[in-house]
Amino acid sequence: MEGAGASLQLQCMTPIPNRRVMMNNNNNNSNTASPNMLRMKMKMSQRSSSYSVVKCSGSGIGRGIGDFIGGDLVKLDLGRWISDVEEHKALAIYSPHEGGYEGRYLNRLIYQGYYFLDLSARGLGDPETTLINIHPVCPAHVGKQPIARWYFPPEVDYRLSLLPPNAKGLVVWIIEAKVLSKSELQFLALLPTLRPNVRVIAECGNWRKFMWKPLKEVAALTGK
């Protein structure tokens, strides 16, 4: 018991090291680094100096006019857009998912003197019946009124009759045309042949950039 008490007194009498002294000792040891630590620091400095800045632009100086104005505002294909609309008369367009790009091409057609008929493919029904024939429409009866059937004039022919004399033509812009069947797309591709003053633009899907192709190719009418 006496030996245990003596050891306990010795443990209590041992001084507790000061925290500030320990921190100073660690700093002194870090200042006097070993040769291995110096080699590692030199390698790290060489690696950091070998890194270069990655430039996203493809120009020689790393910056282009699109970096200052906006890439969506600099489009050099508007002239080709007008010429393809006049040549093929029916186009299938593919726009980015964020939207907004197709409005610039639409405005260019407005500047050329075209008027527009905007329709959605969802709920359009039979395109041939709705666009160039007198077609019936059944209004909602809500379970109380008798079921009625109203007849409307052809959408395209009615709009053509209202065009001013200086109009260049009528553009039928079909939204969400990707839900249409191949036979319905074939009719839209042939609509400018039936109505020479009509041009057809069908939104058939999405792509990373705004692009278009003749609607006859999409509807498998090439060579016919």
Q: What is the pLDDT of residues 34-63, one digit of tens each?
A: 677 777 767 666 655 554 554 544 444 555
d(CA 218, CA 185): 8
Please tell me the predicted confidence (pLDDT) of residue 46. Answer: 62
How far is it between the farthest Cα atoms of the chain? 123
Closest CA to 200 of 214, 211, 210: 214
Indicate the pTM of the whole model: 0.65
**In whole angstroms, how large is the CA radius of gyration of the chain?**
37
- The dihedrals phi and psi of 175, each to the nearest 5 degrees, come to -90, 145
pLDDT for 59 equals 46
Q: Which residues contact 199 (CB under 8 A, 6 or more apart)?
A: 85, 89, 90, 109, 114, 169, 170, 171, 172, 192
Structure-block tokens of residue 78 = 């508007």
Question: Three-class SS of residue 52?
Answer: coil
> In the sheet where 169-175 sits, what is the strand order?
114-120, 169-175, 198-206, 90-95, 211-214
91 touches 200 (CB < 8 A): yes
What are residue 34's DSSP bridge partners? Answer: none
Q: Residue 14: its pLDDT value, please? A: 46
* Count of C-beta atoms within a 10 Å radius of residue 27: 9
Which stretches of the chain drop beneath a pLDDT of 50?
1-23, 27, 30, 51, 54, 56-60, 224
Model confidence pLDDT, tens digit, residues 114-146? 999 999 999 888 999 999 999 988 888 777 778
CA distance 200 to 114: 12
Check residue 52 and give its pLDDT: 52
Task: Tell me phi and psi for residue 110, to 5 degrees.
Answer: -65, -40
Q: What is the pLDDT of residue 146?
A: 83
